[in-house]
Amino acid sequence: MTIWVDADACPNLIKDILFRAAGRAKVAVVLVANSWIRTPPSPFIRSMQVAGGPDVADDAIAERCIAGDLVVTADIPLAARALDQGALALNPRGELYTADSIAQRLSMRNFMDELRGAGVNTGGPPALHPRDVQAFANALDRWLTHHPK
What does pTM read for this prediction? 0.86
Contacts of 38 (CB under 8 A, 6+ apart): 47
Hey, which of 28-32, 36-40, 72-76 has the most confident mean pLDDT?
28-32
Contacts of 43 (CB under 8 A, 6+ apart): none
Cα 18 off chain centre by: 11
Q: Which H helix or E strand runs over 16? A: helix 12-25
pLDDT at 128: 87
pLDDT tens string 98-135: 888 877 766 666 656 766 677 767 666 778 899 999 99
pLDDT at 108: 64
pLDDT tens string 54-90: 889 999 999 999 999 999 999 989 999 999 999 999 9
